Structure 1
Amino acid sequence: MIRIKAFDGIKGFAILSIILYHLWPEVIPGGFLTVNTFLVLSGYFLTNKLRNQPLKEVASYVHKTISRVWFPLLWFLIFIVVGLLILNPIALKSLQLEILASLTFLNNFFQLASERSYFTDMANASPMTHLWYIAIYIQSFIIAIPVILIGDRWITSDKIKGIFWLLVFACTLYLNHLHYQPGQDPSNVYYGIQTRFASFAIGIAVAYLNTSLQAAINQYRYFVASWIYFLMSVGSFVMMVYLIFHVSDQEPITYQFWLPYYNVLASAFIIGANHRFNLVEDLIGHPLLAWLGQKSYSFYLWYYPIIVYSFSYLRNFQDKISLLKGATFLAIVVIASLFSYLIESKRMTYLFGTDFNFKQDWQDLINHFKPKPRFSALLARSIIYFGLLGTFIYGICYADNQKSLALFELEYGMYQTQPSPFSLYYPHDQKAKALRSELLAFDQEMETNFIQLASPGSLVDDTFKTDLGREMTQKISLQLLAAAADKKEDQTDEEKVRETLSEPSDDQEAKLEYIQSMDPEIVELLSEEEMLYAVELPVTLFGDSLAKLAGPVFETVFQEGSTYGYTSLQVWDSYDEFQDLLDQELVEETLIINLGTNAGYDLPGLTELIDMAGDREIYLVNTNSAVEHVEEVNEVIKECTKLYDNVHEIDWHSVSLDHPEYYGEDDIHLSLEGLDYYTATIVKALYENQ
């Protein structure tokens, strides 16, 4: 079969679009669509390869294909596991099942079973999430082969077989329609073989119908037919380019129409590109795009883990995010190219082999250990290979499926701000509190300072200060009140009258004392006037897990307020939740919105939520979480403040910019100290804008 450069080029365009989508989603929001290109081409090539072939040739082709995919995948996972053991062993602790699912081409089912979203679950970012596509590819491959073989055996007409596969394509679209629910996370259709098989099916249909389509087009004059083929290839490619710049991964129409439509575009491109027009070959089959297409598997394997790792340093590149993204792109090119040269091209085959010919692999291994002139080099190489394999096996055992650190911190942060005896963390708290009590008693008896010397971030001092901390705070407060009473005796009558007029009422005093007892740290961040304003202001905080985590502290200060936070919520999914609150009349006239952490903002998405809120005074909290779309979120918020007189920005980004201590280990969710400063920032913004 003649190699068509445009096919390599379209694969290069597809992998480039995927990488740029993850690095610059605000520029190329529809880059994820191009995954379909690989699946359509795979279905097309598979059918042409298997048609009218004896079973022996089919078995050989299946063996080669699975070997070609699995062994680079194995090497990739070895490097990832060894790298995590060295650089971030805590992150590896939660990945055992995902590693095994990836090795067995079941990653997409793992993502669905663990309810992980490709688009929103920032706390669960894994270097193996993208392997769902490898699983879909092999699953489609295994499903299609027996159906193709049976069809070739029992049906002689390619047209009938093509129509059959078009019906399969239509059925998968119907399943997509049934499973996709607007306003909900789309992972069930994005990861599902029952919906993603559509791309493979239409590729198979094109392989069977290509001859019939050519016959129909060739009935026209040569000049007209040539233009039809040319427009099919160039026109479909131009439309693909348009879609990656204009389609959002959050809009219902994307899953209801654009994903299926992209399959049709890829099919039209295949039909047109088969005629190898010079312009198409030179433009789409450009050597750079063709080179990317030929190495697209290695690029696909490595782009996502490199992005996940580099974006863990977003906090260090707050003002230089473009530099970080540029360096990330360069790292992807270098590492993927080396991997393709050494692994995918089979230049490194020692020990692991390149296929499933275990007898030959064993013989090769024995031959390698026979005496050779450069025995020292052989020994060093053997140690490296055996060391990698042993470390990989140890890493799988070490990764014992513990909860990821980010989720642990989120759940534990919720418990810290709102303790519950039903929480799994409660028994551990009781032990720590008992230890603190013993240390305090020891301090009082021996006149030591163990409690006072405890580090601010320690388990004993920072996490479990609620009981004894309040007791000590109350004692200090009584001393301060006594000192204030002594001072009053020395005041003039005029000063006493002026102070009496400005003194808070008994009810307000009780509310201030409640704040003091519940969260004495935040009292130090606010003036009395600001707290008096906050305690009586009806206000609603609506948002994602950051709002949920801030709820207890927020409601301690805003005692007439309420919080509605939802884990992994993004603006495009928030409308139903928000409308439900509106219907129940739970949204106050002062509304604070904290969204954008999970998947960013776009202006239409945020303005729709603002329009739902009506003429309320709306405050949008910008972000400083270590996510790739910080600039996008903050820019959209600024745009909204210009469009609406009743919309205001709360600049949490500036407040927290040089304070990494305001965030937990995942650099996304707030620490206990961060929750106090976050709430104080909201209070100050509302007080100044009254």
Structure 2
Amino acid sequence: MQQKHRYIPGLDGLRAFAVLSVMAYHFSFSWAKGGFLGVDIFFVLSGYLITSIAIPAQGNSIELNVREFWLKRIRRLLPAAYVLIITTFVWVMLFQREMLHSLRGDAISSIFYSSNWWFIFHNLSYFDSFGAPSILKNLWSLAIEEQFYIIWPIVLIAGFRFFKKRSSLLMIVLSGIIISALLMGILYQPGADPSRVYYGTDTRSFELLIGCLLAFVWPMKKLSSKNLSTKLGNLLNITSFIAFGILILSVGFIDEYQSFLYRGGMVLICINAAILIACISHPASVLGKLLSFKPLYWIGSRSYGIYLWHYPIMVLSTPIQEIGNPVYWRVGLQVVITFLVAELSYRFIEMPIRKKGFRPYFRQYLLINRLNWRGFPFAKKMTTILLPLVILVFTVGMAGVVKGKEQLRTTAAYPMQVQIIGKEYFPREMEPVVPNNSKTTEGKPPHQANGDALPPIDEQNKEAAKPVETNTNDTAENKAYTRILAIGDSIMLDIASDLHEKYPEMTIDGEVGRQVSQAVELAPSYANYNQSGNAVIIELGTNGFFTNKQLDSLLQSFSNTHIYLVNTRVPRQWEGKVNNALEAKAKENDHITLIDWHSAAINHPEYFTNDGVHLQLKGIEALTSLIEQAINVP
């Protein structure tokens, strides 16, 4: 018979640290660049606790009732998550219907705990999303955990049955860790969005398995302070503080675009988290006692509800243009609301169902005998009346009876790539052009929405649309340079029409979602611009950060020209890092000039569309004018 596992309050303190780190990251605080690593702590901790409960403290056999195990997980996880999904959906349907279109698919995938794969297949980035983020995006990690809870008990039972020895099963777990970590390293592409490896169950399983491995080598049920020497006790405590310090530094300084993170870095962070968990779990741990501090215990014990609710509350109560730039009074209010809702969830949903089950819960809180209606509390009466109405509204909304206005999460509905050389405009050959099926101007780039569309390609005569490069010595607007090249992302597409009008001979090359790494590959095709007397305008960084090596490589491609770096105004975590890197390069090199779009645009929300990134007509005019002023100075 299995022993009842020991409750460890210090682990609630660690949960508090993890969930507060994630919240700080989602609120875009610059001092919590690596706050997303709080999820790694949760994964390792989940693997450790679940395996510690499931396996015997010793011996080579296991007595695990899979049905009971799954039922406990359902009671623990589903009620609060489903209440969140239903409540969020009903709120959006009633008050913020512009988000309804994208929420349906996210809600369905979240209900079936497959949202991580849904986001992968629909190319919804965890890091780089414009427009309205998915309100339920934070549920991706719960999907991975639930998938793990379904598979892991079966693996344990089969492992003990067929391999007999714990050591053999331990080696299988170790092999799983290695395979998953290698898969993350192989699938990761430096300079590209890392969301595929970040969301994937296959590429994140090693984190849960590291916790499982810890349960085999450091079984919670056998930990005791008896017969622990002073020397070992000191070593335990020193190790715990070092591991916790490493974790704090990781949250403060590691960011999501560092390549080492996906090529061994996360493995090291999870191993460090496992060491910390092992130390805190020991009864002799001083850090474990410190982390049992009541406020930390309160947050940790309610960390599930806090994690569930903080992100939807943040998204629904923050203007899209301001996501990524925290306003402290708003964040404070959002945190208070999150803690309040999490407390209600903990008291009235999570704990009652966890302790009593579903039937007693519904009998106690919801179902009312019509003969005794007058004897029941007002709150219970209202709950019984409102619950069917809420479920009805949710069902109607999910069925698509009520239509929501589609709001795109990313730029689309206009050419993905545009090249203007001389007086000709055309989408790059062999590249797809996203059709615009909308009957309104929504989804178009602002210059198209205002009727100032770029001239269409003549499909009947593609020969006439071939690139023709011409000098611009006689261009009235430009007295400083022989030829000018402009390379950029979707912001360059926004201003392409106006730039082309002012500088008819300028070469403009823009692409939606373009990263610096992609521009490095593009640069050799414009090698003939790398000559004295020419200028190159580079507008990149909207879609994420880049390495110093990538930026240097791009700049080196145009080392003989004068380079203008346009910094970025993008309300996302990487904005400051991108702008600091561009500013540093401009200060280091005399032939590089910084065009400070960020300072010019920071107090002008009227420059931007609803996503806070792409440009309205006023923004197009402002950025074009800023570039014009810069390049017309010899």
TM-score by length of 1: 0.75
| Residue number among 534, 540, 562 corresponding to 2:507 in the alignment | 562
**Cα distance, 1:538 vs. partner?**
2.1
1:74-93 matches, cutoff 5 A: 74-93=82-101
Q: Which amino acid is 2:203 matched to? A: T
Counterpart position of 2:461: none
2:15–2:42 Cα contact (<8 Å) kept: yes
1:96–1:400 Cα contact (<8 Å) kept: no
1:409–1:664 Cα contact (<8 Å) kept: no
**Cα distance, 1:145 vs. partner?**
1.1
| Residue number among 568, 578, 581 corresponding to 2:520 in the alignment | 578
Task: Judge which range, 276-285 or 411-420, deviates more.
Answer: 411-420
| Residue number among 254, 263, 275 corresponding to 1:247 in the alignment | 254
Verify: 1:47 aligned to 2:46, yes or no: no
**Cα distance, 1:38 vs. partner?**
0.9
Counterpart position of 1:179: 187
**Cα distance, 1:135 vs. partner?**
0.4
Counterpart position of 2:166: 158
**Cα distance, 1:35 vs. partner?**
1.1
1:330-369 matches, cutoff 5 A: 330-346=332-348, 357=358, 361=362, 365-367=366-368, 369=370
**Cα distance, 1:142 vs. partner?**
1.2
Whole-Å separation in 1 of the counterparts to 2:433 and 2:211: 54
1:116–1:124 Cα contact (<8 Å) kept: no
| Residue number among 506, 524, 540 corresponding to 1:595 in the alignment | 540
Note the alpha carbon deviations across 1:358-404, whole angstroms, 9 max, x for none: 69847975435443226793554334323322222233234999895
Whole-Å separation in 2 of the counterparts to 1:200 and 1:281: 21
1:105–1:138 Cα contact (<8 Å) kept: yes
Whole-Å separation in 1 of the counterparts to 2:552 and 2:426: 36
1:415–1:425 Cα contact (<8 Å) kept: no
Gaps of 5+ in 2: 456-470
Whole-Å separation in 2 of the counterparts to 1:313 and 1:16: 23
Task: Judge which range, 357-366 or 547-556, deviates more.
Answer: 357-366
1:531-546 matches, cutoff 5 A: 531-533=477-479, 537-546=482-491
Gaps of 5+ in 1: 431-456, 468-506, 513-528
Verify: 1:661 aligned to 2:606, yes or no: yes
1:104-119 matches, cutoff 5 A: 104-119=112-127
| Residue number among 133, 137, 141 corresponding to 2:141 in the alignment | 133
Counterpart position of 2:462: none
| Residue number among 60, 65, 70 corresponding to 2:73 in the alignment | 65
Whole-Å separation in 2 of the counterparts to 1:624 and 1:407: 18
Verify: 1:388 aligned to 2:397, yes or no: no
Q: Which amino acid is 1:246 matched to? A: F
Note the alpha carbon deviations across 1:316-352, whole angstroms, 9 max, x for none: x99xx55x1x2344234322322222223335999x9
> Which is higher, the Rg of structure 1 or of structure 2?
1
Counterpart position of 1:670: 615
Counterpart position of 2:588: 643
Pair 654,576 (structure 1): closer, same or farther in 2 beyond 3 Å = closer
| Residue number among 37, 42, 65 corresponding to 1:38 in the alignment | 42
Verify: 1:224 aligned to 2:225, yes or no: no
| Residue number among 21, 24, 29 corresponding to 1:20 in the alignment | 24
Verify: 1:282 aligned to 2:289, yes or no: yes
Pair 627,165 (structure 1): closer, same or farther in 2 beyond 3 Å = closer
RMSD across aligned C-alpha pairs, in angstroms?
A: 4.2
**Cα distance, 1:144 vs. partner?**
0.9
Whole-Å separation in 2 of the counterparts to 1:268 and 1:677: 54
Whole-Å separation in 1 of the counterparts to 2:36 and 2:131: 21
1:662–1:674 Cα contact (<8 Å) kept: yes
Identity percentage of aligned residues: 24
SS at match of 1:116: coil
Pair 670,63 (structure 1): closer, same or farther in 2 beyond 3 Å = same
Counterpart position of 1:614: 559
Pair 611,33 (structure 1): closer, same or farther in 2 beyond 3 Å = farther
Pair 620,193 (structure 1): closer, same or farther in 2 beyond 3 Å = same
How many pairs align? 594
1:72–1:343 Cα contact (<8 Å) kept: yes
Q: Which amino acid is 1:665 matched to? A: N
Pair 392,331 (structure 1): closer, same or farther in 2 beyond 3 Å = farther
Pair 375,289 (structure 1): closer, same or farther in 2 beyond 3 Å = closer
**Cα distance, 1:197 vs. partner?**
0.7
**Cα distance, 1:679 vs. partner?**
1.8
1:233–1:272 Cα contact (<8 Å) kept: yes
